[in-house]
A = this chain, B = another copy of it.
Amino acid sequence: MTAVVALGGNALMRPGERGTAAEQLANLRRAVAALEPLLDDDGLVITHGNGPQVGNELIRQERAADEAPPLPLWLAVAQTQAEIGALIAAELRPAVDRDVACVLTHVRVAPDDPAFDRPTKPIGPFYSSAQAEQLQRERGWTMNEDANRGYRRVVPSPEPLDVIELPAVRSLVAAGAIVIACGGGGIPVVRRGGRLTGIDAVIDKDRASALLARGLGSDRLVILTEVPALYADFGTPDQREVRELSTHDAEHLLPSLAEGSMRPKVAAGVAFGRETLITNFEALGDALAGRAGTRIVGGVTGA
């Protein structure tokens, strides 16, 4: 059995935390303990989000801008791959008998992806109206007003097309290592004149994980999130966990799902096309045994 396991934000940071190294290590210790049933899988690749970490890094870049030049977003994504990769490796190594390696991962997107005309993903710190206007003018950022908290930069979230380091991940998996890859959805790059050029965007980490799992020919994609499963009739007296969905039914369900929440996870399962398990750490053991979580399976029939 080979698997790609996508860690959600709660594997690294819990409500009220600021994201110190010590907090993230303590959370990852619990996460690794929950992953125990998967750690013996022949091929195991771990992916992860980076929302709060890249937010912190962008705050750092801005606050020091007069003294240390701010790096572009795509390099801040790279930085979080290393930060989080080193933290995951620190907690994973004592739990396994094999090598752990983190590969810096670039993911190619199309320069004409419609997402570039419609930036939707808020990132980084909040700004005042005057600051927002200045950043829009001086750096060409798109700024959106976010409820009552101020203005925030929004960036495109284009569709991932290619995991550039797929051969490297495949070689390391074949050599028996657990690989950490595709952090934060990967460093977004576009192909321009024979080059892969970094571009300021944020790729959905579940979609990137599905692309990686497909490229590796993995048997299973496990998406770990806050809730134990997808719910049908959510918020009504009939609310119940969805135990199994065909990819066909999952695809039809997509428009009814929350855009920033379950939709990209179910879409990732549809894109992967093989067994996809959506659950949380607490329910993972039961979900692997078919008693919890939501399983998306290939074919047209489902529960």
Contacts and interface: CB of A to CB of B under 8 A. Distances in A.
B78 A68 contact: no
Interface stretch (A112-120, A127-135, A144-152, A170-178): A170-178
Contacts of A10: none
A215 interface: no
A93 B175 contact: no
A198 interface: yes
Contacts of A198: 21, 86, 90
Contacts of A111: none
A174 to B, nearest CB: 8
A267 to B, nearest CB: 27
Nearest to A197: B90
A69 B99 contact: no
Contacts of A69: 18-21, 56
Contacts of A172: 168, 171-172
A259 interface: no
A254 interface: no
A110 interface: no
Contact of A104 (B19, B85, B171, B195): B85
A162 interface: no
Interface in A166-197: 167-168, 171-172, 174-175, 177, 180, 187, 194-197
A180 B63 CA distance: 30
A57 B57 CA distance: 10
Given A125-B67, A171-B171, A196-B93, A74 B60 contact: no
A78 B67 contact: no
Given A81-B82, A90-B197, A194-B94, A103 B106 contact: no
A94 B195 contact: yes
A265 B79 CA distance: 28
Contacts of A59: 64, 67-68
A74 B89 CA distance: 13
A195 to B, nearest CB: 5
Contacts of A62: 64
Identify which of A59, A68, A83 gathers the most chain B CB atoms within 10 Å of its CB: A68
A192 to B, nearest CB: 10
A63 to B, nearest CB: 4
Contacts of A31: none
Interface of A: 18-21, 55-57, 59-64, 67-69, 71-72, 74-75, 78-79, 81-83, 85-87, 89-90, 93-94, 99, 101-104, 106, 125, 165, 167-168, 171-172, 174-175, 177, 180, 187, 194-198
Which 7 pairs across A and B sit closest by C-beta, in order of nearness?
Answer: A82-B82, A60-B60, A56-B68, A101-B168, A102-B104, A78-B82, A79-B79
